[in-house]
């Protein structure tokens, strides 16, 4: 893993020892001419084999040593801007590249940003293209070796980004680095083993980061949770020796007193199951270890507040995080139980493995009572959503077309993509209970939708609300080079872009 130091490259370029340059060439009618120009600029002694291979259809990258060793090597990447090209290209490429060179003894990388004109269809401006490059390097550089007895030492590497607008690049580096540090924090939380991340430890880790950013932190222990009649959260957590917690974060930026515009007030709610065994309705043992990631929604919410605070986004932001472990024991809640939540509504427990929505019932009620303009919740809620959309897309449910569209657009831009599913009232019938206000599980049909309809029961109808089921994309998968090894922190970059989008 590198210790990354980004710089906005100056017009006068100095290549130090052990340096590599990365240049891009678009595969168009000028490819051969532009390739020849690069040969001259870097005084490359290329063979006919090098030229023929690079100009062929089969080879899209060439890495060669320079004649003068200033820089030592140059990587020339050929890009075909066709129907297969997408807005994630540079993020994915640099993630893959940084993973390949992690073990090399490099001191510096010099990146020349390609001509934006060739890519303006895919990026709103050149600075966002540059942001995706920086994000890709961070994402590819991430690792989690905390519990290895022999750790790889961190190597410092200087990364220079060359573009016409030097000052704008500096600001992009600062903003993106703050965002990606928040992504790293979320990934670290998600990848922690559950014996090292109980509800109590989660609150301590988040609190230590939040107080350094003037984010207000409030934590309810199990006694306060009971006093507030949050029996959804209390019931789910009572089977474990590690008792539940309820965490409230608030970020409120300083604004000029004479500023008339009102700050948006948004509540982010994150499911925080630090481990989910399924409880009495015990899960199969295969892959149960991945249930340490059942707190991904909580990690996304906490990290989103850190990123907003670091980059001073002008929005009044709340983070509402219910935390619990779902374990089988003599004191655990059971199928057939009826639970009264803080809203006064009652839940019949059909299955104790549908526990996330039960703890969210109290969290969404608490968020509603804050009277925000919007509530957005994040939860690794259902396997049904993964069946419907695959591992790399989150399910989106909302009572507001405007809110849903903004989130969808931010998803396309950041490539943390979402797809909207219906929440027609017809689906309520699938979770009707004969003895309570609602059941926590329907039949096998439309499982992701009935889970969303359950959550909707606990949201004030006057408030715009969106639910993101991130069960698939929060866990490592093989669709991108930066998602194939560790838990992903899916949602942090999405939220960050969304908050910027609505405050412009």
**Which tens digits make up the pLDDT trace of 432-453?**
999 999 999 999 999 999 999 9
> What token pair was written down for 9?
């490259």
User: Which of 180, 205, 223 is where one domain is finished?
Assistant: 180
Q: Tell me, what's the pLDDT at 1?
A: 84
Q: How far apart are CA 145 and CA 148, in angstroms?
A: 5
DSSP 456-479: HTTS-TTSEEEEEE-TTTTS--SS
**Shared domain check, 265 and 147:** no
Report helix, strand or coil for 308: helix
Whole-number pLDDT of residue 258: 57
- Looking at the structure, do residues 338 and 476 belong to the same domain, yes or no? yes
Would you state the pLDDT for residue 259? 59
- 136 and 254 within one domain: no
Q: Which of 118, 152, 180 is the last residue of a domain?
A: 180
**Is 219 found in the same domain as 154?**
no
Q: What is the mean pLDDT of the chain?
A: 96
CA distance 18 to 70: 9
- Residue 96 pLDDT > 80, yes or no? yes
In a domain, residue 187? The reply is no
Confidence of residue 389 (pLDDT cuts 50, 70, 90): very high
pLDDT higher than 90, residue 287: no
| Per-residue pLDDT, 152 | 75
Mark whether 110 and 216 lie in a shared domain: no
Q: Is 156 helix (H, G, I), strand (E, B) or coil?
A: strand
Q: Which of 223, 277, 270 is nearest to 376 (CA)?
A: 270
Both 100 and 69 in one domain: the answer is yes
pLDDT tens digits along 168-190: 999 999 999 999 999 999 999 99
Look up 100 and say whether it is catalytic: no
Task: For residue 393, give both structure tokens.
Answer: 């897309």
Strand boundaries in 383-496, DSSP class E: 394-398, 418-420, 438-439, 464-469
Spot the catalytic one: 91, 357, 457, 464: 357
Is residue 185, in this structure, part of any structural domain at all? no
Res. 255: pLDDT tops 90: no
Residue 69: per-residue pLDDT? 79
Same domain, 206 and 321: yes
Q: Which of 170, 207, 283, 340 is catalytic?
A: 283
Q: Are 5 and 156 in contact (CB under 8 A)?
A: yes
Tell me the three state secondary structure of residue 81.
coil
Domain of residue 292, CATH code = 3.40.630.10
Average pLDDT score over residue span 70-76: 94
Residue 68: per-residue pLDDT: 81
- Give a yes or no: residue 21 inside a domain: yes
Whether the per-residue pLDDT at 245 is higher than 80: the answer is yes
Does residue 38 sit within a domain?
yes
Residue 332 is part of which domain span? 197-503
Using DSSP, state whether 361 is helix, strand or coil.
helix
Distance CA 58, CA 46 (A): 18
- Catalytic residue status for 213: no
Q: Say how many domains are in the chain.
A: 2
- Residue linked to tokens 């804050």: 370
Predicted confidence (pLDDT) at residue 260 exceeds the cutoff of 70: no
- Model confidence pTM above 0.95: yes
The pLDDT of residue 257: 61
Q: Which residues of 285-323 are buried (b: 16+ CB within 10 A; e: fewer)?
A: eeeeeebbbbbbbbbbbbbbbbbbbbbebbbbbbbbbbb
Would 116 be classed as within a structural domain?
yes
Do 169 and 91 belong together in one domain? Answer: yes
Residue among 156, 146, 403, 170 at smallest CA distance from 268: 403
Question: Residue 45 maps to which CATH number?
Answer: 3.40.220.10
| pLDDT at 267 (0 to 100) | 98
> Is the domain of 119 the same as that of 224?
no
The whole-number average pLDDT for the span 229-255 is 97
pLDDT computed for residue 504 by the predictor = 83
Q: Is residue 454 located within the same domain as residue 489?
A: yes
In a domain, 192, yes or no: no
| Cα–Cα–Cα angle for 41, 104, 15, rounded to 5 degrees | 30
Between the alpha carbon of residue 246 and those of residues 328, 332, 359, the distances in Å are 21, 19, 10
Which pLDDT tens digit goes with each residue over 290-333? 999 999 999 999 999 999 999 999 999 999 999 999 999 999 99
Q: Are residues 385 and 270 part of one domain?
A: yes
- The long-range contacts involving 407-410, CB below 8 angstroms and separated by at least 24 positions, are 407/376, 407/466, 407/468, 407/494, 407/498, 409/501, 410/494, 410/497, 410/498, 410/501
Phi, psi of 44 (to 5 degrees): -85, 135
Q: Is residue 86 part of a domain?
A: yes
| Domain endpoint, select from 133, 151, 180 | 180
- For residue 25, which of 123, 127, 112, 137 has the smallest C-alpha distance? 112
Task: Give the per-residue pLDDT at 150.
Answer: 86
Q: What is the rounded distance in angstroms from the CA atom of residue 433 to the CA atom of residue 430?
A: 9
Q: For residues 204-209, give the mean pLDDT.
A: 98
132 lies in the same domain as 232 = no
Query: Within a domain: residue 190?
Result: no
Q: Which burial class, exposed, middle or buried, applies to 475 when counting CB atoms under 10 A from its CB (0-12, 13-18, 19+)?
A: buried
pLDDT 10s digits, 404-432: 999 999 999 999 999 999 999 999 999 99
CA distance linking residue 5 with residue 18, whole number of Å: 16
Which tokens go with 90? 């540079």
**Beta strand spans in 252-365 (E):** 264-270, 272-276, 315-326, 338-340, 346-348
């Amino acid at each position: 893993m590198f210790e990354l130091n980004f710089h906005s490259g100056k017009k006068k370029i100095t290549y130090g020892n052990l340096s590599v340059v990365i240049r891009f060439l678009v595969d168009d009618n000028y490819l051969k001419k532009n390739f020849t120009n690069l040969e001259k600029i870097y005084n490359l002694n290329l063979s006919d084999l090098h030229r023929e291979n690079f100009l062929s259809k089969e080879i899209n990258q060439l890495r060669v040593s320079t004649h003068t060793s200033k820089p030592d090597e140059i990587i020339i990447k050929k890009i075909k801007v066709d129907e297969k090209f997408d807005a994630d290209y540079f993020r994915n490429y640099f993630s893959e590249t940084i993973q390949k060179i992690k073990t090399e003894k490099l001191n510096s990388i010099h990146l020349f940003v390609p001509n934006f004109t060739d890519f303006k269809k895919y990026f709103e401006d050149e600075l966002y293209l540059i942001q995706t490059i920086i994000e890709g390097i961070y994402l590819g550089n991430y690792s989690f070796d905390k519990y290895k007895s022999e750790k790889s030492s961190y190597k410092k590497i200087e990364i220079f980004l060359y573009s016409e607008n030097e000052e704008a690049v500096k600001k992009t580096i600062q903003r993106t680095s703050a965002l990606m540090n928040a992504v790293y924090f979320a990934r670290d939380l998600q990848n922690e083993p559950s014996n090292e991340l109980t509800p109590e430890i989660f609150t301590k880790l988040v609190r230590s980061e939040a107080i350094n950013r003037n984010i207000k932190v409030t934590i309810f222990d199990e006694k306060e949770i009971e006093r507030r009649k949050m029996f959804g959260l209390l019931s789910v957590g009572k089977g474990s020796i590690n008792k539940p917690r309820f965490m409230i974060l608030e970020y409120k930026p300083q604004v000029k007193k004479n500023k008339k515009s009102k700050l948006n007030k948004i509540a982010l709610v994150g499911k925080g199951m630090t481990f989910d065994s399924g409880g009495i309705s015990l899960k199969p043992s295969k892959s149960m270890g991945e249930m340490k990631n059942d707190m991904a929604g909580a990690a996304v919410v906490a990290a989103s507040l850190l990123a907003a605070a670091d980059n001073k986004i002008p929005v009044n932001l709340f983070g509402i995080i219910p935390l619990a472990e779902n374990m089988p024991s003599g004191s655990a809640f059971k199928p057939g139980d009826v639970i009264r939540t803080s809203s006064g509504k009652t839940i019949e427990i059909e299955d104790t493995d549908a526990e996330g929505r039960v703890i969210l019932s109290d969290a969404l009620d608490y968020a509603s009572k804050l009277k925000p303009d919007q509530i957005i919740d994040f939860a690794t809620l259902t396997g049904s959503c993964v069946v419907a959309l695959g591992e790399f897309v989150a399910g989106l449910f909302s009572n507001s077309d405007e809110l849903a569209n903004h989130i969808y657009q931010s998803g396309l831009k950041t490539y943390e993509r979402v797809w909207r599913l219906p929440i027609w009232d017809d689906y309520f019938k699938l979770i009707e209970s004969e003895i309570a206000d609602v059941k926590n599980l329907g039949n096998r049909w439309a499982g992701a939708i009935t889970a969303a309809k359950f959550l909707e029961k606990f949201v004030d109808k006057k408030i715009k609300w969106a639910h993101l089921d991130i069960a698939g994309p929060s866990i490592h998968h093989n669709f991108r080079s930066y998602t194939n090894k560790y838990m992903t922190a899916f949602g942090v970059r999405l939220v960050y872009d969304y908050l910027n989008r609505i405050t412009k």
